[in-house]
Amino acid sequence: MKLITVIVPVYNVENYLSKCIESIMEQSYKNLEIILVDDGSNDNSLAICNSFSQKDDRVKVYHTKNLGLSNARNVGLDHANGEYVTFIDSDDYVHKDMIKTMINKIGNADLVICNYEKVLSDSNEQISQDQACLKDEYWSPEQFWQHYYWRNLHVFCCVAWNKLYKLKLFNNVRYPISMIHEDEYIINNLINNCQKIKVIKDSLYYYVQRQGSIMHNAYRGYFEIAEAFLGRCSSFHEYHSNNIIEENLNEIPRLLALGFNEAKNQNNVNEKYNL
């Protein structure tokens, strides 16, 4: 049974954290290394992490000063020992068979991606995502980007947390620090390292929508997304796909326009981009 590393970045989520960790510890696939990285929380999150490490020797806890989500994920990667790795955000939770299903279906792929459901934190309503767009199949890197750009599968394709990766995909690859859309920056490098990608339609990850999370803050980081899109251009030439290059470039002016509009009331954005 292959060792799988589960990395959970943690920051001020005391009301959600226990449910998240319990859903990992209760996985039907048992050969896990569970790495909890506390990113300088100032609530009870670190104490909760430590309490779970005392209950289960698969749980390892690392504590850092507050440097953000990317650094926490990188710390987890630096300590990962599994052949495969997956990320779970600390305010989310997962189906009890998530890891077993993904490892059983990965086949000879380097990466497997599962479907997910949004969960509204105030009502616990679960909203299925992307069911009509998905079936169990293999994608090439070129097909991955075709689905990303033309089938409205941006979230499914780009986020870190609905995926099981071969750890070797992260050789010389780490998340950029202090970026909101760190997933958009890194996904291109990861996909370039893949020979084959497995996609499954099973909804195995529960993405909790809550006020106060990063993606509910006022700053949406449109300039950063535009920067990530620019960084992809050269690699798309490898696919000999002018359509993908054109679609990628067409997105950039829209993102820049949204970024300029957003920057009007964000002094830190103005300083960062010399506006």
* Whole-number pLDDT of residue 126: 80
* Whole-number pLDDT of residue 148: 93
pTM of the model: 0.91
* Whole-number pLDDT of residue 269: 55
* Whole-number pLDDT of residue 93: 97
Q: What is the mean pLDDT of residues 202-210?
A: 92
Q: What is the mean pLDDT of residues 245-264?
A: 86
Split at pLDDT 50, 70, 90, the class of 267 is low
Please report, for residues 66, 113, 167, 265, the alpha-carbon distance to residue 201 in angstroms, rounded to integers and kept in the order given. 36, 9, 23, 40
Residues whose CB falls within 8 Å of the CB of residue 134, separated by 6 or more in sequence, listed in order: 115, 156, 199, 200, 201
* Whole-number pLDDT of residue 131: 75
* Whole-number pLDDT of residue 268: 58
What's the pLDDT tens digit per position in 137-176? 999 999 999 999 988 898 999 999 999 999 999 999 999 9
Return the closest-CA partner of residue 24 out of 43, 12, 11, 10. 10
- Residue positions counted in the chain: 275
Name the more confident of 258 and 61: 61
End-to-end C-alpha distance for the chain, whole angstroms: 53
Instruction: Tell me the average pLDDT of the chain.
Output: 90
pLDDT at 67 over 80: yes
**Contact (Cβ atoms closer than 8 angstroms) between residue 198 and residue 101:** no
* Whole-number pLDDT of residue 218: 56
Note the maximum CA span of the chain.
Answer: 54
Beta bridge partners of 93: 206
Split at pLDDT 50, 70, 90, the class of 59 is very high
pLDDT at 213 over 80: no
